[in-house]
Amino acid sequence: MINIVIFGAPGAGKGTQATLLAEKYDFLHISTGDLLRQEVRLQTPIGLRAKAIMDRGDLVGDDIVVQLLHRALQQRSTLPNPDAQEDPWDVARKGPSHRPEGCIIDGFPRTVQQAQTLEFVTRRLKRNIDLIIAIDVPRDELIRRIHERAAISGRSDDTEEVIRHRLDLYDRQTQPVLDYYRLSGRLTTIDGSGEISQTNNRICRVIDRALRS
């Protein structure tokens, strides 16, 4: 079993790449952004708290994100019950639940404190974070991509003001996470400025090496 964190600024393509990798390698894909948006759609107490924060472009508090992440990981850290209904938190997969050979997390961690919390949570569930893949994309390209996504999806957190605020937050709060993981020797940075398939091929080469080791 290999557990991966996919990392990058808003618009870097984390969600797209994580989905492709989950399908290719039969990984469980946990997107904290998708988990939060699911709560918003269902208008749960967590969703109502998170929506106002997300609409401002701010980071949702650790207490909310860790609760959702722990629940998603915990449900996949035990053997499946054949009589159980389909897992509602498995937002990346369709069809019957089963135990995958690995896990890929995108959208978390975004701060060093969150990175430390993730290590604690995964150790409790007898998992290790084996590989951190950072997708590097120039800022101008990030802004262009997010504008395109906003035009298609109409997401309320993809306005011009919010986009720039989120990128500024990334620079201030999330970049230090790269240094945290670099010291552990688990960080690999990938050029994500090309086509989706080119970035995916680069990431797959990294994962294939890790699986062979």
Residue-wise pLDDT tens digits, 120-159? 888 888 888 999 999 999 999 999 888 888 777 766 556 7
**pTM for the full predicted model:** 0.76
Residue 154 pLDDT = 66
Q: Which pLDDT band, with edges at 50, 70 and 90, does 203 fall under?
A: very high
Please give the DSSP secondary-structure letter assigned to residue 94.
Answer: -
147 vs 164: CA distance, rounded Å: 11
The parent domain of residue 106 ranges over 2-212
Dist CA 157 CA 36 (whole Å)? 13
- Angle of helix 45-56 versus helix 160-169 axis, rounded to 10: 100
User: What DSSP letter does each residue of 144-196 carry, written as one string?
Assistant: HHHHHHHHHH--TT-SHHHHHHHHHHIIIIIHHHHHHHHHHT-EEEEE-SS-H
pLDDT of residue 158: 63
CB 129 within 8 A of CB 5: yes
Q: Percentage of residues in the chain with pLDDT exceeding 90?
A: 30
Helix (H) / strand (E) element for 106: namely strand 102-106
What is residue 56's predicted lDDT score, i.e. its pLDDT?
Answer: 81
- Return the pLDDT at 157: 58
Q: Picking from 40-44, 49-53, 127-131, 151-155, which range would have the lowest pLDDT averaged per residue?
A: 151-155
| Residue range 18-30: mean pLDDT, rounded | 92
State residue 186's pLDDT score.
92
Q: How confident is the model at residue 164 (pLDDT cuts 50, 70, 90)?
A: confident
**Residues contacting residue 84 through CB under 8 Å, at least 6 positions apart:** 97
Instruction: Give the CATH number of the domain where residue 156 resides.
Output: 3.40.50.300
The count of domains in the chain is: 1
